[in-house]
Chain A
Amino acid sequence: MPQTLAVELIEPGVRLITLQRPQALNALTTELLGELADELNAAQADPATRAVVVTGSRKAFAAGADLKEMAECNLVGVLNDPRQASWQSITRFSKPLIAAVNGFALGGGCELAMHADIIIAGEDARFGQPEINLGIMPGAGGTQRLLRAVGKSMAMQMVLTGDAIDAHQAQRAGLVSEVTQPELTVERAVQVARSIAAKAPLAVRLAKEALLKAMDTDLASGLRFERHAFTLLAGTRDRDEGIRAFQEKRRPNFTGE
């Protein structure tokens, strides 16, 4: 049983993972990240799971790393940080991951949200990388993913001053896709997950991979990958089903084959 998070099967296909360390504003301890990685590995292995929503509490998605742990970690400790492996599991998760963010998403919490494919934010969400205030810097993709999401000037300002931005600023900058009422954030994220879960899983998986390719490769390579992925799908049963259902004006029944 995980100690620091709760997992719910919302319906066949959609899992909801809720970070549950409210007393510490969901600070990302080694334990929590490890449990999150385990849950994503389990979701990865489960063919019935087609999308995952990760969320925190009404007050905080995750307010950063655990400072006590961090303070106890010297150079060698940081070098051998077991959390790196957890972050890698989260990065490698190949099914759609949606972050439903209410309240603070700061430091590691902002980085965790940016690991998700889609971010739905409650109106009072705040995103920031305050590491600089502690004499450190983002260490889980914050300087890389943030810049790609919001552009150089805003990323520099956020990372170098440590100042947070609100949900509407984040949406304008392209960090989040939707802003909603805080009471509805999780519901909306689950709706989006449900919508994705109803699509052909292989198409979703390859489309996600192709989009992520765009972040770290040149256009020609990205286009080549896209073409290969597109071609691969031509060999799937779901593609025939999708096109036939469209022609017959009925709802497709995708099996993931």
Chain B
Amino acid sequence: MNFEHILFSIEAGVALLSLNRPDQLNSFNTQMHGEVKEALKQVRQNPDVRVLLLTGEGRGFCAGQDLSDRNVAPGSAVPDLGESIEKFYNPMIRQLRDLPLPVICAVNGVAAGAGANIPLACDLVLAARSASFIQAFCKIGLIPDSGGTWTLPRLVGMARAKALALLGNRLTAEQAEQWGLIYRCVEDAELRDEALKLARHLATQPTYGLALIKRSLNASMSNSFDEQLELERDLQRLAGRSEDYREGVGAFMEKRSPSFKGR
């Protein structure tokens, strides 16, 4: 499949997906949704892929929904925004969260609307120092979607989540790092290299175990303590059967560096 609105490549275990509508700050239209969906499907189905890196081309990361796709002229029928969320955004967010491998997001510029919440569905978020996060929804009468209302309070606490969502102010990458919204803020010129370095490292790690870690941490956001202890027991049971665990222990005993296969 040839992509027009995204760039997509797989190399040495790293899948690189870059949103590519730079003139529209990489905002989503229907075609881009379709292309991202197809790329994520390939990531899921290709056993060689051990990490996904998501980023954007040009000066922005993603400006959310392309509003020209959603023109609401006076007198026209009431739109059902729930439908596009159900059909496009929610499956993409679930997919990013559920992929059994680490997902890195390199936020290269402004991340607004859904574009601010897509990174929050990823596992490790790096942002360029000049990047910013804007929960722009409140300015056009909408609510933060793509998981924003769930993720924000869990990452930065309710007080800051409400301020971000109700005011829609621009949050700088540095502030985002200080608040714990993202993992790390790096110099603009270093973003892509840093993100690739991280991706290449993770692509050599025990992917199956990493997927179980991701699964358990995600589940902890809504589990009770007891449920989480039981989940740890079950996932550890699974991890203990992996080839990589055997390799990890073997390498440790033999004082050599392990060679993980991701299973």
Q: How many A-B residue pairs have CB under 8 A?
A: 9
Q: How far is the CB of B208 from chain A (nearest CB, A)?
A: 11
Counting CB contacts under 8 A, is A180 at the interface?
yes
Q: Does A184 belong to the interface (CB within 8 Å)?
A: yes
A138 to B187, alpha carbons, bound, how many Å? 61
Least CB separation from A188: chain B residue: B234
Interface residues on B, range: under 10
What is the CA–CA distance of A151 and B235 in the complex, to the nearest angstrom? 33
Chain B residues, CB < 8 A from A184: 234, 237-238
* A residues less than 8 Å from B238 (CB atoms): 181, 183-184
Residue of B nearest to A180 (CB): B234
Q: How far is the CA of A183 from the CA of B237 in the complex (A)?
A: 10
Within 8 A of A (CB), among B233-263: 234-235, 237-238
The CA of A184 and the CA of B237, in the complex, are separated in Å by 9
Q: Which residues of B contact A180 (CB under 8 A)?
A: 234
Q: With CB as the reference atom, state the residue of chain A lying closest to B227.
A: A179
Interface size on A, residues (CB 8 A): 4
| Cα of A180 to Cα of B231 in the assembled complex, Å | 8
Which residue of chain A is the closest to B237 with respect to CB atoms?
A: A184
Please provide the chain B residues from 220 to 237 with a CB less than 8 Å away from any CB of chain A in the complex.
231, 234-235, 237
Bound complex: CA of A48 vs CA of B238, how far in Å?
Answer: 31
With most chain B CB atoms within 10 A of its CB, the pick from A180, A181, A184 is: A181
* Least distance between B135 CB and chain A CB atoms (Å): 29
Q: Digitize A181-211: 1 where CB-to-B-CB distance is under 8 Å, 0 elsewhere.
A: 1011000000000000000000000000000
CA distance A131 to B79 in the complex (A): 31
Q: What's the minimum C-beta distance from B56 to chain A, rounded to whole angstroms?
A: 31
Contacts of B234 in A (CB 8 A): 180-181, 184
The interface bits of chain A over 164-188 (1 if a CB of B lies within 8 angstroms of the residue's CB, else 0) are: 0000000000000000110110000
Set of chain A residues within 8 Å of B235, measured between Cβ atoms: 181
Complex-state Cα separation, A34 to B238, whole angstroms: 35
- Interchain CA distance A229-B223 in the complex, whole Å: 41
- In the bound assembly, the distance between CA atoms of A181 and B237 in angstroms comes to 10
Q: Which residues of chain B are within 8 angstroms of A183 by Cβ–Cβ distance? A: 238
Once bound together, how far apart are the Cα atoms of A158 and B50, in whole Å? Answer: 39
- The CA of A181 and the CA of B216, in the complex, are separated in Å by 11
B237: chain A residues within 8 A (beta carbon): 184
Complex CA gap A211/B237 in Å reads 34
- Which residues of A in the span 133-185 have a Cβ within 8 Å of any Cβ on B? 180-181, 183-184
Residue among B231, B234, B237, B238 with the most chain A CB within 10 A?
A: B234
Complex-state Cα separation, A106 to B235, whole angstroms: 27
B231 CB contacts on chain A under 8 angstroms: 181
Tell me the complex Cα distance, A7–B139, Å: 62
A181 and B231 CA atoms in complex are apart in Å by 8
Identify the closest chain A residue to B230 (Cβ).
A180
Q: Which chain B residue has the least Cβ–Cβ distance from A124?
A: B98
Complex: A184 Cα to B241 Cα, angstroms: 12
Residue of A with least CB distance to B231: A181
**Cα A183 to Cα B235 with chains together (Å):** 9
Residues B16-34 near A (CB distance < 8 A):
none
CB distance from B214 to the nearest CB of A (A): 14
Chain B residue with minimal CB distance to A183? B238
Q: Which residues, 129 to 163 on B, are CB-close (under 8 Å) to A?
A: none
Contact surface of A with B, Cβ cutoff 8 Å: 180-181, 183-184
Chain B contact residues, CB within 8 Å of chain A: 231, 234-235, 237-238
Residue pairs across A and B with Cβ atoms less than 8 A apart, 9 shown, are A180-B234, A181-B231, A181-B234, A181-B235, A181-B238, A183-B238, A184-B234, A184-B237, A184-B238
**Besides A184-B234, A184-B237, 7 new A-B residue pairs in contact (Cβ under 8 A), listed by A number:** A180-B234, A181-B231, A181-B234, A181-B235, A181-B238, A183-B238, A184-B238
By Cβ-Cβ distance, the 4 closest A-B pairs, closest first, are A181-B234, A183-B238, A184-B234, A180-B234
